[in-house]
A and B are shown apart, each in its own frame.
Chain A
């Protein structure tokens, strides 16, 4: 009897090896461990055996049954897997046929490069507690000139610099400093804000000149603000913009709305101050005008210059954009050419 079970096991093992599909496996299962299966056949012959024999063989036959079921289960899983894999093998997609390879027209999405840099700078100022203000493009003489201490006779008011409307009283703002003038009117010190935006100059366009471009104006007014504060502030700001420590220097510069007024130079980032073609061998690059707000400008803004003072600065955004991305022609910025803007895409 014992021998019969052993024989049955080896017979099953070789039969299992022959099975190639799931239905044969189901049949095999019935053949060996089904009600009318071979294992039961053997067990039927047991009924006349002694209790000891019954016990031993019963245990053995149960072990064999479990073995068979286990093997069939394993085989079943293996067969299923190979069947699915067989299907997958026939049925998979070309995973390289992605959008980047396809001509679906222009699917790029992204911000205009000026927006990118403007947002970056806005974030720096926001983090330092500055408000962000805006103003109209069409300004009046007062906010663009008079409030900023630019007298009637100043050359900036000439036709060759400023776009005037035919009433000769309104104009396209020539700088974001008008945002300064308007910002002061509605605030009481201390305050600090920036004003980014488009400005306009009536000049012939070429690779580095545009009739419409972008500035970012900044102003901080409070008590006992000093030139030392201005330098500190500019150094911090520029180190954030250029993401490294930059050295700055102030030298006298004349702008009617500030006094003292400065040209701020940064140590050339290309040569580190040793002198190169970018900085014309001087080691310094002129970057932005700034200064202590002129008392007349404060007065126009309704602020008492004996009690408060402050500093202001202006930043040319387009130049920063062009420096950051190596853009060689400023006219691309307003061209509406998607071949240009798509180079700065987010997606």
Chain B
């Protein structure tokens, strides 16, 4: 929103300072000034000149060489305007002039002849609509004078206010409210322009006759008060220059005196209003009612709008004439021959008009203000200001009857109790009672001070939404004093021992392990996925109750039931670039939950990929190490691939044989598995893809005790024994080892491990085992060792693993 400094000066004196500094000070105290602009520069540069000589351009049949004088010197331009004539007074823009739209005149030859600038039309100078030729001034116009000075347009400074920074301040959506802020910030008084005498002057124009237009508000509308008045005998004509300039400066196009007054008052007092051609009001009645049966309405912009029954409409005896708080209709607008007016100033409930506006996709200047919660107490003042300006524009116009009003809400001023001590304590700065009271009064608050205990009466226009409690009063003081004037101070606070939560410790350990030990890259993916991705991953669970109502795209519309589809997608993306990689995500997936709506799962997903060699064992080893490092009791066992808690039953995405189930606290809470070639094919993944997922949710908050205990070092040597046995090609080697681990009950057997595996044929392999024996109290005797070795071999043989010969 643009705020005109010229306009502000109608209400308050401003200190003589650089506009940029003024803007900074205002930003620090009230709202964000995004930019400082200057208007009228164009018209100050463009001068009135008289054409002295015209020649045809030698290389053109429609261009002329025009010589002219500003009274001091003669210049020449190339000009193609049809109405160019000797003796005419026209506007001349010298080189260097910048026009609206940013085009700047530079030295340039036009068909070989140098042009020293440009003679301009009304539209080029934005002083009228005539673009048929040069603007021709009266013969009496003074030579060499700037067009701005001649037509009385003042240069102005505009503050470009960030609208977002005043969403909570309905009072700042007009110049008068802004002026009050300037008054408070710079300590100058606000001119008491709209006082009782002013009111009396306007009311003096009213008559005792019955108001020609009646108004009523039906139940179930969003109306918060409605006032109106009738005027007759107006003449439609252009507005005075100052008004047009101010409207232009604020981004509104001047139309005619009445429409301009309507807009002007909105920009001045911040309250939208509507002025009807009174002949268009059927039955001389205005009724505010729900749209009900009315299904559509054509707004001023000639667009047909669909209504719903609860929309509030402003109607006459025959039907709607406007959508409340948003936009009027085409039929009721002011025409060139309008003489009778009905002026409406109403207030509407913020949320309801905004809802209608959002639904219609129609945001207007009026709506923008209504949605900020306007003050019904200001309706009448606004109406009087409109009457005043109409009368100023058409002194012959008459007011008919009195102000009509209806549905005006009750109003009790809001009074807030607060102490000056509290204000100082919360701000952390000593401020005198006098200063506090002075600031509040400058902002139009009523203050009753009793030894530092204040009763603060909030102005009606600040209490619609903005100010409701003592903290709001503290803000008023803080911002005017200036937060810059508060000295930073360290808080005095009790000391508590704080430690990271178990879950946080675990997630950090996992992150660190995955990066520093497992050599993986961390990724982040959207927790929302699309149905197509789930289908691609053969994922039957579609989380129907966890679908977004307003997803940006179908690809991110479902809260993911698992990390797995996202990981597959990420693997697919990256295998195009790299022949191998390992990445992980510590992310969330979501289960449907009829009781708590959703069950958020914290999961670790790890992906290893290699074009040639399967990274399965590597990945499994990594997961084993990770869980050990977290001090988690777990088992990792070959699982039945059609069942795991981390994926749906009978999921076809996993390799039927290469799947290890990770069991923690007796339940399967993870797996390591090779992804089925068919799913890889769906994702166009060419290579070996292994995935491991662990669901941390159920144990992440538990403290995992470090059970490490010191043991005395061995004092006697251990004895190793190797033997090679034959096994079936698909017998898991863990089973062979288990034969010894479980089958030999000997306290001297320290450990059994595999040294080597050799494939003998399609059906057989040989496994070389190594067993270690030791006795912590003595060196084992040769005899004992021989017996032990014998037992090893016999045990293996008895379980079907004969010695290889």
B200 within 8 Å of A (CB atoms): no
Bound complex: CA A131 to CA B505 (Å): 12
Bound complex: CA A170 to CA B547 (Å): 11
Q: Tell me which residues from 130 to 157 in chain A have a Cβ below 8 Å from any Cβ of chain B.
A: 130-134, 136-138, 140, 152-153, 155
Q: A126-B500, A250-B483, A338-B521 are in contact. Are A226 and B494 (CB under 8 A)?
A: no
The answer on a CB contact under 8 Å between B600 and A138 is yes
Bound complex: CA A347 to CA B522 (Å): 12
Bound complex: CA A134 to CA B508 (Å): 13
B573 within 8 Å of A (CB atoms): yes
Which of B70-78, B134-142, B469-477 is the interface stretch? B469-477
The interface residues of chain A lying within 8 Å CB-to-CB of B451 are: none
The interface residues of chain A lying within 8 Å CB-to-CB of B470 are: 295
The interface residues of chain B lying within 8 Å CB-to-CB of A229 are: 428, 489-491
The answer on a CB contact under 8 Å between A337 and B490 is no
Contact bitstring B506-542, A, C-beta under 8 A = 1, else 0:
0010010011101111111111100000000000000
Bound complex: CA A335 to CA B566 (Å): 11
The interface residues of chain B lying within 8 Å CB-to-CB of A273 are: none
The answer on a CB contact under 8 Å between B547 and A129 is no
A104 within 8 Å of B (CB atoms): yes
Q: A112-B524, A295-B469 are in contact. Are A168 and B491 (CB under 8 A)?
A: no
Given contacts A105-B611, A338-B577, 11 further A-B contacts (CB under 8 A): A109-B519, A131-B501, A138-B590, A228-B488, A231-B483, A250-B484, A251-B28, A251-B29, A254-B167, A262-B483, A336-B574
With beta carbons under 8 angstroms apart, the residue of A110, A158, A232 that contacts B521 is: A110
B496 within 8 Å of A (CB atoms): yes
The answer on a CB contact under 8 Å between A105 and B487 is no
The answer on a CB contact under 8 Å between B556 and A132 is no
Which of A65-73, A79-87, A159-167 is the interface stretch? A159-167
The answer on a CB contact under 8 Å between A170 and B598 is yes
Which of A32-40, A50-58, A197-205 is the interface stretch? A197-205
Which of B246-254, B387-395, B579-587, B674-682 is the interface stretch? B579-587
A309 within 8 Å of B (CB atoms): yes
The answer on a CB contact under 8 Å between B483 and A227 is yes
Q: How far is the CB of A271 from chain B (nearest CB, A)?
A: 16
Bound complex: CA A345 to CA B522 (Å): 9
The interface residues of chain B lying within 8 Å CB-to-CB of A261 are: 475
Contact bitstring A110-122, B, C-beta under 8 A = 1, else 0:
1110110001000
The interface residues of chain B lying within 8 Å CB-to-CB of A336 are: 523-525, 566, 569-570, 573-574, 583
The answer on a CB contact under 8 Å between A339 and B491 is no
Chain B residue nearest to A204 in the complex (CB): B552
With beta carbons under 8 angstroms apart, the residue of B469, B500, B521, B559 that contacts A342 is: B521
Q: Tell me which residues from 314 to 337 in chain A have a Cβ below 8 Å from any Cβ of chain B.
A: 333-337
The answer on a CB contact under 8 Å between B598 and A251 is no
Classify the secondary structure of B's interface with A: mixed
Q: A131-B498, A212-B527 are in contact. Are A259 and B427 (CB under 8 A)?
A: no
Bound complex: CA A191 to CA B493 (Å): 9
12 of the cross-chain contacts (CB-CB < 8 Å) are A105-B611, A106-B577, A133-B501, A138-B559, A202-B550, A202-B552, A226-B426, A227-B428, A232-B490, A263-B32, A263-B165, A346-B516
B109 within 8 Å of A (CB atoms): no
Q: Tell me which residues from 402 to 444 in chain B have a Cβ below 8 Å from any Cβ of chain A.
A: 425-429
Q: Tell me which residues from 230 to 245 in chain A have a Cβ below 8 Å from any Cβ of chain B.
A: 231-233, 235
A18 within 8 Å of B (CB atoms): no
The answer on a CB contact under 8 Å between B28 and A249 is yes
Bound complex: CA A111 to CA B550 (Å): 32
Bound complex: CA A134 to CA B474 (Å): 32
The answer on a CB contact under 8 Å between B548 and A172 is yes
Q: For chain B, give the interface size range.
A: 35 or more
B127 within 8 Å of A (CB atoms): no
How many residues of A are in contact with the other chain, CB < 8 A?
A: 90
Q: Tell me which residues from 545 to 562 in chain B have a Cβ below 8 Å from any Cβ of chain A.
A: 545-552, 556, 559
A292 within 8 Å of B (CB atoms): yes
Task: Give A contacts to B, CB under 8 Å.
Answer: 103-112, 114-115, 119, 126, 129-134, 136-138, 140, 152-153, 155, 158-160, 163-170, 172, 190-192, 198, 202-205, 211-212, 220, 222, 224-229, 231-233, 235, 249-254, 259-263, 282, 292, 294-296, 309, 333-339, 341-342, 345-347
Bound complex: CA A34 to CA B371 (Å): 116
The interface residues of chain A lying within 8 Å CB-to-CB of B490 are: 229, 232
The answer on a CB contact under 8 Å between A103 and B579 is yes
Q: How far is the CB of B442 from chain A (nearest CB, A)?
A: 16
The list of the 3 closest CB pairs from A to B, nearest first, reads: A228-B428, A105-B580, A226-B428
The answer on a CB contact under 8 Å between B516 and A152 is no
The interface residues of chain B lying within 8 Å CB-to-CB of A205 are: 552
Q: How far is the CB of A289 from chain B (nearest CB, A)?
A: 11
Q: How far is the CB of B377 from chain A (nearest CB, A)?
A: 20
Chain A residue nearest to B579 in the complex (CB): A105
Which of B227-235, B350-358, B740-748, B795-803 is the interface stretch? B350-358
The interface residues of chain A lying within 8 Å CB-to-CB of B478 are: 227, 260
The interface residues of chain B lying within 8 Å CB-to-CB of A164 are: 548-550
Bound complex: CA A313 to CA B493 (Å): 18
